[in-house]
Structure 1
Amino acid sequence: MTDTEVLPPDLAPPADGPPLASWLRRVVAALLDGSILGGATWIVLGPGGSGPSLTPTFDVDATGGVDVVGWFTSPWLVGLLVAMLALQGWTGATPGKRVAGVAVVRVSDGLPVGFLASALRVVAHVLDAIFLIGYLRPLWNARKQTFADSIVGTLAVETREPPAHPWFARFRRERSVWRSAVVNVAAIVVCALGVAFSASQTTTGSVQTSDVPCVEGVQTATASVAGSREVLAYVDQRLWLTRPSTDLSQTRLSIGWTWYDTDLMSVDRMVATDILDADGQVVTEHEQEPGARSIAVLDPVTIEAADLENAGRGWTVESRLVSNGATVASCMVSQEDWDSAGQG
């Protein structure tokens, strides 16, 4: 008599064939496959795209409130997902599984499961995604199966050379170390590109400027002014490719003054800028102190496009240089000129 536990045949691991894949190997394989699909989604749809997955989860507001484009709208991504399912179904391994040394086979005979079972397994992973319990189940299950594996009748085994699917067995040649090495290297390259395109990112911004007339009201020899419409746009770069960023572009009015002030005793100097509605009523006021230099290229007065829109149609912006309470120079920007600069 011994105390060794004997499992029923339907629960015991297979006696022959490759050993069952460890949970860690399966996690690595899932991460690599996820990076391939995620990187491809970024290339095709940009940062605002939602990618497919072979191991779906229930994400809570994973988009950060940004409107996303579904992967199913792209034939390229649909085709990639189908190709991944076909590789898993007919060869036993996707590129990520190939690198991690994992293959998905049938419990009954240890052969690849076929395309339909491969697709059904992904759908069944939805059960595994509930609190992630199913994805953790291989840690204690005798066959190291997720719920999806148990439903479809599959095992994850540790091998890079699973038997051929019955449909393709007659076309399979004798195993070749050279041919296997080529396939492994190709899988590594695909996974490396997937990681690079899904994990590394640099966001840069650029400013496009167009002149906006700032028609002078009070004209003196003490100042000069220039107005411009600035559009700040952002792009994301991964490796050598760039895509428009999810960071929204910003449009603003910039009014730059140069003040040739010879009155060094002036103690009250400022740039006062008002946004007026169509009736000439002040909606928003901005004030800026230029400092004590006798000749000052002032920091531009910038007004966001949203502030201009709040004033309604027919708005104007008036900017004034004020010294000791007296306006020494002024200019005005109209919505008509602002719109013309945007169209140009």
Structure 2
Amino acid sequence: MSFGSPNNPYGQPQDPQQGQPGYGYPQQPGYQQAPQGVPPQQGYGYPQQPGYPQQPGYPQQGGYGYPQQGYGATPPYANWGQRFGGTIVDGLVFLVPYILVIVGRNNGAIRAIGLLAVLGVAIWQLIMEGRTGQTVGKKALGIRLVKEATGQPIGVGMAFVRRIAHILDSLACYLGWLWPAWDSKRQTFADKVCGTIVIRSN
């Protein structure tokens, strides 16, 4: 029997346009051989997940408590004239109750009322400065006291400690009170010890 016989199925002439059938299992219908030059498909396994879009960076937070003109901007320190003016106004606030002390030097009741009034004003000013950073004088001059590290009010307790620390400013011929005139951060000695600064609030 000839391989070219029409009765021999293995002797059928091959069509050059068709590929050789694979050995083993018969070729599945619908399967097409990938043409040459096509890049190989991805490997088996779980399908590749699309990449997550990159999250935009969080914006830089501004400073605490005081206005910023840009990242790393210098706080708007109050100058020596503003600080001195605030101290003068605070002194005038104490003047009214102190007049009662002077007038009542020969009258125990009036003098006691005057002393209580002075103490009340002092406590009120201290609470205001600790909670808001401003006494009456600081508010009038548009300045306020804040913690240098956070830019926030320092609290009543720390405000009291700073008042005591002003003793350092009175030493050496009151040099500490004048120090803000040329200091780079406009601080007194008490400010440096307590870590506070006085800034413009408007």
| Counterpart-to-counterpart distance in 2, 1:157 and 1:72 | 36
Per the TM alignment, residue 39 of structure 1 is displaced from its structure 2 partner at its CA by 2.2
| Counterpart-to-counterpart distance in 2, 1:19 and 1:133 | 23
Deviations 1:162-184 (A, max 9, x none): xxxxxxxxxxxxxxxxxxxxxxx
Per the TM alignment, residue 90 of structure 1 is displaced from its structure 2 partner at its CA by 0.4
Instruction: Check if 1:151 corresponds to 2:151.
Output: no
Residue-pair matches, total = 127
Per the TM alignment, residue 46 of structure 1 is displaced from its structure 2 partner at its CA by 3.0
Change in Cα spacing, 1:70 to 1:105, as seen in structure 2 (3 Å) is: farther
Instruction: Check if 1:22 corresponds to 2:22.
Output: no
Deviations 1:121-179 (A, max 9, x none): 1111111112110001112211110000011110000115xxxxxxxxxxxxxxxxxxx
Per the TM alignment, residue 25 of structure 1 is displaced from its structure 2 partner at its CA by 0.3
Change in Cα spacing, 1:32 to 1:116, as seen in structure 2 (3 Å) is: same
Structure 1 partner of 2:93: 36
- Quick check: which has more Rg, 1 or 2? 2
Answer yes or no: is the 8 Å Cα contact 2:98–2:115 preserved in 1.
no
Which of 158, 165, 171 in structure 2 is aligned with 1:117?
158
Structure 1 partner of 2:8: none
**Runs of at least 5 residues in structure 2 that lack an aligned partner in the other structure:** 1-67
Identity value in percent: 29
Partner letter of residue 29 of structure 1? G
Which has a greater percent of helix?
A: 2
Per the TM alignment, residue 16 of structure 1 is displaced from its structure 2 partner at its CA by 4.0
Change in Cα spacing, 1:73 to 1:111, as seen in structure 2 (3 Å) is: same
SS of 2:145's partner is strand
| Counterpart-to-counterpart distance in 2, 1:31 and 1:83 | 17
Answer yes or no: is the 8 Å Cα contact 2:97–2:115 preserved in 1.
no
Structure 2 partner of 1:333: none
| Counterpart-to-counterpart distance in 1, 2:92 and 2:161 | 21
SS of 1:35's partner is helix
Which of 26, 40, 45 in structure 1 is aligned with 2:101?
45
Structure 1 partner of 2:180: 138
Instruction: Check if 1:75 corresponds to 2:116.
Output: yes
Partner letter of residue 127 of structure 2? A
Answer yes or no: is the 8 Å Cα contact 1:25–1:100 preserved in 2.
yes
Change in Cα spacing, 1:90 to 1:46, as seen in structure 2 (3 Å) is: same
Q: Any residues of structure 2 matched to 1:195-344 within 5 Å, and which?
A: none
Q: Which stretch of structure 1 is more off in the superposition, 32-41 or 109-118?
A: 32-41
Which has a greater percent of strand?
A: 1
Q: Any residues of structure 2 matched to 1:50-61 within 5 Å, and which?
A: none
| Counterpart-to-counterpart distance in 2, 1:142 and 1:90 | 26
Given the two structures, how large is their TM-score scaled by the length of structure 1? 0.34
Aligned CA-pair RMSD:
2.5
Answer yes or no: is the 8 Å Cα contact 2:97–2:114 preserved in 1.
no
Partner letter of residue 142 of structure 2? G
**Runs of at least 5 residues in structure 1 that lack an aligned partner in the other structure:** 1-13, 50-68, 161-344
Given the two structures, how large is their TM-score scaled by the length of structure 2? 0.57
Answer yes or no: is the 8 Å Cα contact 1:104–1:155 preserved in 2.
yes
Higher relative contact order (CA 8 A, sep 6+): 2
Per the TM alignment, residue 74 of structure 1 is displaced from its structure 2 partner at its CA by 2.7
Partner letter of residue 105 of structure 1? V
